[in-house]
Chains A and B, each alone.
Chain A
Amino acid sequence: MGLDFTVIPKYFDIILLGCAYTIGITVAAAILSFFGGIVFAVIALYAPWIIRQPFRMVAWMFMGTPLLLQLFLIYFGLVQVGIDLPAVVAGIIGLGLHFAVYNSELIQTAILSVDKGQMEAARTLGLSRSEALRKVVIPQAVRAVIPPISNNMIALLKDSALVSVIGVSELTLSAQRAIGATYRPFEFYLLAAAFYYVINLGMEWVQRRIERRISISR
């Protein structure tokens, strides 16, 4: 029965709304994963043993188990202990923490590879270790890992489709809904793919701008 793109306009609003959800969730989770990644990295490197060890277990859980399972756990599991999160929030937290753990690995390595003289120079001026980390070491470490973190953020965009399993009508699920009504999978999946591609381009543009801004200082 060939391709028929004339079915699209009627469902375009749904797709667009799905697209908005995908962008919103991705941006919120990306921000969470960025700052979470910094906090996790500092804990993993500098927190006392008593905090670091349990934290390692949690980090392992986020790296060693499927994201799908983590989303189920946060959305359905936490209800049992009285935490009833809206699906969108559960999705953002799940995605954000999952990628925070990956970002944290990158940031840890980067922190350790900042020249020792930087910490020394800051301490010599009278800064405490935490002040030196905050003003001198971490800003340099983060600048060094902007490219790989950006790759993680592209992966985050793609994995955001997984929050459809807890009922968030993001782009992929919206396409599926439209398909359910029209039996036109090819057209709507193609449309969704096109939207993902455009969002991707947008993210790359943001990444390039950030990199250009910081390149002068290195």
Chain B
Amino acid sequence: MTDGKSFVEIRHAQKSFGKLEVLKDISLSVDRGQIVGIIGSSGSGKSTLLRAINDLDPLTGGEVWLDGVRVNQTLPHRAYEKHINQMRQQVGMVFQHFNLFPHMTARENVSMAPIMLKGISKDEANALAEAQLDHVGMLERIDYYPSQLSGGQKQRVAIARALAMQPKLMLFDEATSALDPELVEEVNQVMRKLAEQHMTMIIVTHEMDFAASVCDRVLFMDQGVVVEEGPPEILFKTPSQPRTREFLRKHLESAK
């Protein structure tokens, strides 16, 4: 690793929205191929941390590094825009509400960014869209518009769209939270498949069972700090911090 840094390295991340301090000195490193889960109650700063990694919510302090390159470096405005667009091409993001482009078919959703940014030909773009949509089991719906798809299908297209840029890292922000329960598994399956292919992933989730089954490491966040982290079998079974235990107990109750 460059400069002794991990593949993804967050150092002393601090983020405030006005007076509200949402991230308080968070550090985190993720190795290539690792899968890290982030859990925690609503408002604890999970999304903010995830969105800091690709600078959607720029940090007010601290550093983010990806593969040896500083993401949030200080540059003149234009140079920074160029740099950040470059960085974002390497980081796929999947949102709770899919954010598919409604005026484009699944094919166009997937191929738009590669066409715009990688200058590939129409034929290459079609082949790419077909391959990516096949990968998530959506090939037969390739010419459907998002409005013609179920939530689970939309999310699978959204994952294909992110993968089409061939990212080094995938970020998932509650990818299944907006789905009807019976549609969750089809999306989880796609994520499991990515895990088998050794994609580096950071997954914010409310699904403890899923986190336990795919993650190498799980972080519990509360009020802007990482309270506890560890392998899922330890964090979920024998958490050392009272706040973690409290959260897991409440979560178990509400799941019943």
Residues of A within 8 A of B (CB): 115, 117-118, 120-129, 131, 135-136, 139-140, 143, 214, 216-218
Q: Which of A126, A131, A140 is the most central at the interface, judged by chain B CB atoms within 10 Å of its CB?
A: A126
Q: Is B54 an interface residue (CB 8 A)?
A: yes
**B117 touching A120, Cβ below 8 Å:** no
Q: Is B91 an interface residue (CB 8 A)?
A: yes
Report A212 CB to chain B, min CB distance, Å. 14
Report B99 CB to chain A, min CB distance, Å. 4
Interface size class of B (residues with CB under 8 A): 20 to 34
Report B88 CB to chain A, min CB distance, Å. 4
Which B residues are in CB contact (< 8 Å) with A124?
A: 54, 56, 88, 91-93, 162
**A216 touching B145, Cβ below 8 Å:** yes
Segment at the interface with A among B100-108, B127-135, B238-246: B100-108
**A126 touching B86, Cβ below 8 Å:** yes
Complex interface bits, B85-129 against A, C-beta within 8 A gives 1, otherwise 0: 110110111010101111110000000110011000000000000
A143 to B81, CA, bound (A): 29
Q: Is B161 an interface residue (CB 8 A)?
A: yes
Report A121 CB to chain B, min CB distance, Å. 4
**B117 touching A125, Cβ below 8 Å:** yes
A115 to B146, CA, bound (A): 15
Of B116, B147, B158, which contacts A131 at CB under 8 A? B116
Interface of A is mostly: helix
**A123 touching B147, Cβ below 8 Å:** no
**B102 touching A125, Cβ below 8 Å:** no
Interface of B is mostly: mixed
Which B residues are in CB contact (< 8 Å) with A126?
A: 85-86, 88-89, 113, 117, 165
**A125 touching B89, Cβ below 8 Å:** yes
A129 to B100, CA, bound (A): 17
Complex interface bits, B62-104 against A, C-beta within 8 A gives 1, otherwise 0: 0000000000000000000100011011011101010111111
**A121 touching B103, Cβ below 8 Å:** no
Report B28 CB to chain A, min CB distance, Å. 20
Report A47 CB to chain B, min CB distance, Å. 16
Which A residues are in CB contact (< 8 Å) with B85?
A: 126-128
**B81 touching A128, Cβ below 8 Å:** yes
Which B residues are in CB contact (< 8 Å) with A143?
A: 103
Report A147 CB to chain B, min CB distance, Å. 16
**A216 touching B101, Cβ below 8 Å:** no
**A135 touching B112, Cβ below 8 Å:** yes
- With A117-B99, A120-B95, A217-B147 already in contact, the answer to whether A125 and B86 are too (CB < 8 A) is no
- With A216-B147, A217-B145, A217-B147 already in contact, the answer to whether A127 and B99 are too (CB < 8 A) is no
Complex interface bits, B133-166 against A, C-beta within 8 A gives 1, otherwise 0: 0000000000001011000000000100110010
A117 to B145, CA, bound (A): 17
**B99 touching A218, Cβ below 8 Å:** no
**B103 touching A217, Cβ below 8 Å:** yes
**A121 touching B147, Cβ below 8 Å:** no
A102 to B100, CA, bound (A): 30
Report B27 CB to chain A, min CB distance, Å. 24
